[in-house]
Amino acid sequence: MNAILLEINNGIATITLNRPDKLNAFNREMAFAMQQALDDCKSDTVRCVMITGAGKAFSAGQDLAEVVDPNGPGMDKILSEHYNPIITRIRALEKPVLACINGVAAGAGANIGLCCDIVVATASASFIQAFSKIGLIPDSGGTYFLPRLIGWQKASALCMLGDKVSATEAEQMGMVYKVFPDADFNEAAFAMATSLSQLPTQALAFTKKALNNSMIHSMDQQLQMEDRLQQQASKTEDFKEGVAAFLEKRKPVFRGK
Ligand code: T3D
């Protein structure tokens, strides 16, 4: 059974974390397959990426059996070779990545979800910074993204206490963009992915680049970056189409070019 499934249809790539018996916990094989799937999403045929989990969980993070396996990769390799390359690939991917949190998201599983561009969750989903429960620190970008998403105080509390947060609480805190009832989740998440895949893909890529840099830039640097990226956006076919469609009072057809 492939630990990661990748399907590409009509501009939408769906990456499914697929070890449902282990709540989609990551081992080395799965981490490498995830990196490969994200690389495959660089194709021009992909205009939006959805990440979700098979079965009842999104992901329980690191497979803890692998951590204690004497033949396993070892703690010195797990972050640098498994998770960090996943997080950097998601942030660098020049298209929107939608995390569809279909169940519990724990440890690195939670933080892979939280580093995505937009996070939606089913009402019965939950998030756990599970690390302190086993004597570790939050990784996979948890200490970077969480304080920026929900503020320092709440991030400190969740990282230290390891409390389980429901999807509704996560939405109120700003960790999640929208929560959908379980019965509507697949359809609603897919509708959002479809909308994203029909938007001006290059403008979204420039938007992502600007937002990535807003974490580290001064206001002046950010204004200069917006100026540069806006000039690039204004040279795209989709910009011409967007303006023409507005003036002709019709719906634009963006091609991602
Ligand atoms: O270098 C490094 O290693 C650092 C990297 C760190 C990255 C990390 O992600 S560290 C954090 C690792 N994750 C966890 O600590 C979470 C562990 N899991 C849980 O706390 C719970 O399973 C959940 C809260 C996620 C869900 O609870 P529940 O009650 O819904 O399910 P369960 O019964 O605990 O689990 C179901 C099965 O999945 C069970 O197997 P079994 O008994 O049916 O054969 C359980 O052992 C397995 N499972 C769940 N999480 C993991 C796992 N197996 C391996 N690794 C897991 N992380």
Question: What are the residue boundaries of the structural domains of the chain, listed by start?
Answer: 4-197, 201-247
Q: Which atom of ligand 1 is nearest to the CA of 111?
A: 9
Residue 11 has pLDDT above 90, yes or no: yes
Beta bridge partners of 62: 26
* Residue indicated by tokens 């429960």: 133
Which CATH fold would you assign to the domain 4-197?
2-enoyl-CoA Hydratase; Chain A, domain 1 (3.90.226)
CA of 235 relative to ligand 1 center, distance in Å = 48
Per-residue pLDDT reduced to its tens digit, 113-149: 999 999 999 999 999 999 999 999 999 999 999 999 9
Q: Give the contacts of 108 (CB within 8 A, at least 6 positions apart).
A: 26, 59, 61, 62, 83, 139, 140
CB atoms within 10 A of CB 64: 14
Q: What is the CA radius of gyration of the chain?
A: 19
Q: What is the pLDDT of residue 44?
A: 96
- pLDDT-based confidence at 26, cuts 50/70/90? very high
Grouping H, G, I as helix, E, B as strand and the rest as coil, residue 166 is: strand
Distance CA(150)–CA(132), nearest Å, equals 19
Query: 194, exposed or middle or buried, with CB in 10 Å at 0-12, 13-18, 19+?
Result: middle
Q: What is the CATH number of domain 201-247?
A: 1.10.12
Per-residue pLDDT reduced to its tens digit, 204-246: 999 999 999 998 999 999 999 999 999 999 999 999 999 999 9
Q: What is the pLDDT of residue 243?
A: 98
Q: What is the pLDDT of residue 74?
A: 87
By the 8 A CB rule, do 24 and 54 touch? yes
Per-residue pLDDT reduced to its tens digit, 143-202: 999 999 999 999 999 999 999 999 999 999 999 999 999 999 999 999 999 999 999 999
The percent helix, strand, coil of the chain (3-state, each to 5) is 50, 20, 30
| 210 close to ligand 1 (CB < 6 Angstrom) | no
* Residue indicated by tokens 């939608």: 98
Per-residue pLDDT reduced to its tens digit, 40-90: 999 999 999 999 999 999 999 999 999 999 999 988 899 999 999 999 999
Between the alpha carbon of residue 163 and those of residues 26, 68, 107, 142, 189, the distances in Å are 21, 25, 12, 14, 26
Q: What is the pLDDT of residue 1?
A: 87
| 86 close to ligand 1 (CB < 6 Angstrom) | no
Nearest CA owner, ligand 1 atom 19: 60
